[in-house]
Amino acid sequence: MKIINREWHRQIELEENVIHTLVFENKLYYREIILELLKQHKGLEGNFVLSEKNREIAFDKYSYFISDLFNIDINNKKILTKVYATLQKQVEEDIIEYNQLTSVIKRYFERLIFNNNLDLEQDEEIDGMALLKLGDFKIHFEESNYLEKIIKYMRILIDLCGVKVIFLIGLHSIFNNNEIRQFYKEICLNKIKIVNIETQQFSDYSNEGYKELIYIFDKDNCEI
């Protein structure tokens, strides 16, 4: 799988156990890249292209942009939509128990109507999704370890939402050296592909378990 930017000479080859870090020394160009990613993750056209087996795939569907590591919503709309779709499929596969449950609910509704002076009616069918939403299902997570929360968030994006690559901003500015090493180790073990974006170069954390590739765009936007 590749990430291509139509303005760049290089292409980013996404492989297992490889972390990609983009360094933009020109703050103006850095801002332009961030705004471009935000725009494309809203489904708009832009310079970034994601391809797999030499075929372009939907950038906004198969990549994800975490633009603020301090404001992670593990139960955002994208994730909860997938959660409920998964539960809906379970309901459809267990139709006998679902029908038994809705029969009980219908009888209860009928008693409510019978014992009420209002001229009421109800739908003949109970919508499965509406029934599931009564459960107010959410992903559970512990607040104690923020690094673990981010990793869990990314695992959900990959496993549940079908995301293939995740863009991050300022990873090296937030976590210390030991946390970065632990983070890289965990994402490689979980086969999560990331592209981290920075404004300055940090140490190369490559070791025998993974490799960090650093791409530098200098103050003149030249690719190094």
Long-range contacts of 43-49 (CB under 8 A, 24+ apart): 47/5, 47/6, 47/7, 48/3, 48/4, 48/5, 49/3, 49/4, 49/5, 49/6
- pTM comes to 0.87
Q: Answer yes or no: are the C-beta atoms of 191 and 220 closer than 8 Å.
A: no
Structure tokens at 216: 């530098």
Q: Give all domains of the chain, ordered by start, each with its CATH number.
A: 2-74+139-217 (3.40.50.11940), 79-133 (no CATH)
Sheet containing strand 18-24, edge to edge, reads 63-66, 165-169, 194-198, 18-24, 211-217
The pLDDT assigned to 204 comes to: 85
The pLDDT assigned to 157 comes to: 95
Structure tokens at 208: 């025998």
Q: Answer yes or no: are the C-beta atoms of 1 and 7 closer than 8 Å.
A: no
49 sits in which H/E element: strand 48-52
The pLDDT assigned to 60 comes to: 95
Write out residues in the chain with pLDDT < 70, as ranges.
143
Q: Answer yes or no: are the C-beta atoms of 181 and 4 closer than 8 Å.
A: no
